[in-house]
Amino acid sequence: MNLGKAIKFCRTQREMTQAQLAERTNVSVSYISLIEQNKRDPVFSTVEKIAEELAVPTSILLFLAADTGDLSPFDRELAEKLSFAALNFIRESKREPSLL
């Protein structure tokens, strides 16, 4: 699982800095940086708060964090469709705040 990469992807899609995300989630900028580098594993409540501030359902954030091996129980075509849908959700909700 690559939670840091998923958080960074969603944060940059929202055009949010690490400092902004840190302030909104009441953690330090260095902690956000360490999470994004996968050097820290945040508690689930922090993951939920980060997802909330990024306006991304926690389940989608965790799905985006899944490594290829994590998705092996799924049919490859289904996993690709789910990935596409999750990425599309992030991109579309950026353009249309009413979807958030």
Q: Are 61 and 47 in contact (CB under 8 A)?
A: yes
- Residues 6 or more apart whose CB falls under 8 angstroms from that of 74 comprise 82
In the chain the domains, ranked by start, together with CATH numbers, are 3-99 (1.10.260.40)
Mean pLDDT of the chain: 87
More confident residue, 97 or 59: 59
Q: How many angstroms separate the CA atoms of 30 and 63, rounded?
A: 24
Question: Is the pLDDT score of 72 beyond 50?
Answer: yes
